[in-house]
Chain A
């Protein structure tokens, strides 16, 4: 349970960090809440750790002028959870952060780290997809939909660093739901579902549904989304979402059980989203 030996570089600028990543056995450390356990278990043995937490200016949460937010990649989960700006504009994000591990891990873990680690059961990659995030790096800006390529695998190049998460404003009259099932508080999700429902003249104008933990990457349940806009209803959407995922079974839960959870959680998340959007406690469609 002790990590292998490595060189350590505390970068104070992005240019220094990028230059250090020319070493292809180098690994970035930010909060280290996924990386350090992997090193302690000796699942990884990078020759160099490049610490980016002393680079200034990467942990701000700012308004983008159009109702959205720009969030620095070094922002900690706990900051996101407790930020008044995030609670006002993207309450689904604050609510979902409460499911991420525990206080001490949320204090230290960064949102950029979670996105780049790309654990299929982690909340933030799914939320980035749900909220249509644009991910700004040292080289370009990538849509969240193009960022996650597989389990623990992203579109980032070896010497590319994620610097900012840009969240565009949600449409007016948008409600949200986030439902997660884990065996114990703070465990990785067996499955989680995030949803937003936007209403216009009382009808569903847009619905977004993201399923977490039931596939190699977070998944937009697009087949289920259209069933909301064509008024087929939430029950039909939940069944469609189940049909879209290919979960793996493991000792925590079988594939069938996870598929079952996708249906239940989709129904609950959509119901909550519809109620928040309509401002009523009434019967969801």
Chain B
């Protein structure tokens, strides 16, 4: 049992993109704000702050989740993956490369969240079809692209295994 007082900061330790990190958070601090303001991980974007827009999506123990619907203190001891962890030293992740190729982003605000959801889908269902891809993308609001380029990018990556 772990009890944390309101209004005070408490130690939170977790793995961020495979690296052990720690910081201090009040119980009410959202994971999205913890990542950006306390850990300087600005790749995760904050949009609606009530779980609708999908911009803040990260992966918690492998599963895509809204970081605005989690408190930082809840992730103690867990593993979080953000968009910063996708690219490797030798280049972009295939999903990132495909988004660039197909003009799947303009302003880029929604892109980190979309990448985190699509990366879970790719791990679990590498042969997902267009309907399934569109179903997953429906959890993300993009106001620039009209989604066409995003869908084309995903279709370029899925079903190739």
- Candidates A9, A36, A103; contact of B136 at CB < 8 Å: A103
A7 to chain B: closest residue by CB: B6
Q: 1/0 per position for A5-17, CB-CB distance to B under 8 A?
A: 1111111110010
- Candidates B30, B49, B73, B140; contact of A8 at CB < 8 Å: B73
Complex contacts, B7 vs chain A, CB 8 Å = 5
In the docked arrangement, what's the CA distance between A102 and B118, Å? 12
Stretch in B63-71, B84-92, B93-101, B148-156 with 4+ CB within 8 Å of A: B63-71
A79 to chain B: closest residue by CB: B63
In the docked arrangement, what's the CA distance between A51 and B2, Å? 10
Complex contacts, A6 vs chain B, CB 8 Å = 6, 27-28
What is the predominant secondary structure among interface residues of chain B facing chain A?
mixed
Number of interface residues of B (CB under 8 A): 38
Does B139 contact A12, Cβ atoms closer than 8 Å? no
Q: Known: A3-B28, A5-B28, A107-B64. Contact between A185 and B138, CB under 8 A?
A: yes
In the docked arrangement, what's the CA distance between A32 and B68, Å? 11
**Does B112 lie at the interface of the complex (its beta carbon under 8 Å from any beta carbon of A)?**
no
Q: Which of A159-216 contact B (CB under 8 A)?
A: 184-186
Q: Which of B30-65 contact A (CB under 8 A)?
A: 30, 33, 48-51, 54, 57, 60, 63-65
Number of interface residues of A (CB under 8 A): 37
Does A32 contact B69, Cβ atoms closer than 8 Å? yes
Does A37 contact B64, Cβ atoms closer than 8 Å? no
**Does B22 lie at the interface of the complex (its beta carbon under 8 Å from any beta carbon of A)?**
no
Shortest 7 CB-CB contacts between residues of A and residues of B: A102-B139, A8-B27, A1-B49, A185-B138, A107-B63, A37-B50, A10-B2
Residues of B in contact with A (beta carbons under 8 Å apart): 1-7, 26-28, 30, 33, 48-51, 54, 57, 60, 63-66, 68-71, 73-74, 76, 117, 120-121, 135-136, 138-140
Residues of A in contact with B (beta carbons under 8 Å apart): 1-13, 16, 32-33, 36-37, 40-41, 47, 49, 51, 53, 76, 78, 98, 101-105, 107-108, 184-186
